[in-house]
Structure 1
Amino acid sequence: MQSMAVVEKKRALRKDIAGFKRLMTQETKHAESMLCVEAIENTEVFSKSEIILAYWPLSDEIDLRPLILKWHPEKTFLLPQVVGEKLELRYFKGEDLLAPQGKYRIMEPRTEIFTIYDKVDLVLVPGLAFDHLGYRLGRGAGYYDKLLPKLYNAVKIGVGFSFQMVKEVPVEPHDEVLDIVIVPK
């Protein structure tokens, strides 16, 4: 019965976050995204990382495009592609090789697949909410909860807007914990 309560708490938190997102201006989204990009660049793990799993943002996510475009091809960037119930990793080789896919119309690479999971140094993870223990609330499909355990050598950094850092994210046993959460202060 407890897990039903967790499911309800997650649903309520997703609704709250959606309300905050609707109130955000483009200026705030851009400013907070740039603060996150700068904070990521200033981490020791980023400077040491060679292979980084990032994401091409939806309109309501921290925009990592400036980071990817600045550091590619000096660093190898991977982007996720939704395939059925899981995420496959594909090489980022430029914006011209991205195409909108799936129900969210996420820009995904049309490049070869990457399967050497233990070689990924850093994962930048989007989310709807994060807490100080490193828990994240996603959109509910569990894509990252299935993927992150395979990336056992990677440092996992959640990135979000300032309002996405909450006191506590409701968790279930399958929810993965992040190593670091970066949100603008």
Structure 2
Amino acid sequence: MKKELRKKFISKRDILPEDYRKMASEKIFSTLEEHKLFKAAEKIFIFVGFGTEIQTENFIKRWINKKQIFVPKIDGNDMNLIQIKSWNDLEPGCFGILEPKHSANYVGEIDLVITPSIVYDKNGYRLGYGKGFYDKYLALNNHNTSIGISYDKLLQNDIPIDSHDKAVDIIITEEKILIINEKYNSNN
């Protein structure tokens, strides 16, 4: 069932107009940058957007010299967190996605995890690409806050979940902020 949903929502994302995707990406990151959780964060783990995903390149380039930026590098069945100091530290890697050239895996605590998905639901659950990398990482609880970013047009009321699926704490779209974890209700 999830396999069919992945195809369905990737197709829906792929047909979103490019100007909408660009505007939404910019607005999502503008909202994130104004949030006090982001302002307080020193160590940020963020995916490198590819294809029609929310684009993270401008955000990463904007903050790479101001905060510690970590991005994923896939090693077999594991996702490692690698700090980058420059966009030029990246090269095509697993699945053709840009990854760090080096392999200095970071295992310490992260302040803010910005989590990718194909689609989120309003309960903070995500439909990813099926490898479980982020669910495994979120289950380690080695981060303070997890934020999901989503195009508002793709946000769902519910998606099927499994027992190992982990919800994010907050979702940011170009239209709104959804507080999933109640401990953040006063942290807007």
TM-score by length of structure 1 reads 0.89
Q: What residue number does 2:104 align with?
A: 113
Task: Trace 1:143-154 onto structure 2 (pairs within 5 A).
Answer: 143-154=133-144
1:180 and 2:170 equivalent? yes
Partner of 2:31: 39
How much has 1:113 moved relative to structure 2?
A: 2.0
| Superposition CA RMSD, Å | 1.4
Q: d(CA) in 1 for partners of 2:103 and 2:119?
A: 31
Distance 1:101 1:112, change over 3 A: closer
Aligned partner of 1:90 in structure 2 is 82
Q: CA deviation at 1:112?
A: 4.5
**In the alignment, is the contact (CA less than 8 A) between 1:93 and 1:111 conserved in 2?**
no
CA shift, 1:136, in A, is: 0.7
Structure 2 Cα separation of the partners of residues 99 and 146 of structure 1: 24
Q: Which of 3, 9, 25 matches 1:17?
A: 9
List per-residue Cα deviations over 1:95-133 (Å, max 9, x = no partner).
Answer: 21111012x201001235243332x10000010111121
SS of the residue aligned with 1:121? strand
What are the equivalent positions in structure 2 for 1:58-69 lying under 5 Å apart?
58-69=50-61
| Equivalent residues, number | 175
Find the counterpart in structure 1 of residue 152 from structure 2: 162
Secondary structure of the 1:47 match is helix
| 2:45 pairs with 1:53 | yes
Q: Partners of 1:151 and 1:99 in 2: how far apart?
A: 28
Name the structure 1 match of 2:131: 141
- Distance in 2 separating the partners of 1:13 and 1:144: 18
Letter in structure 2 aligned against 1:134: G
Q: Can you give the 5+ residue segments of structure 2 that lack an aligned partner in the other structure?
A: 176-188
- The TM-score with structure 2 as length reference comes to 0.87
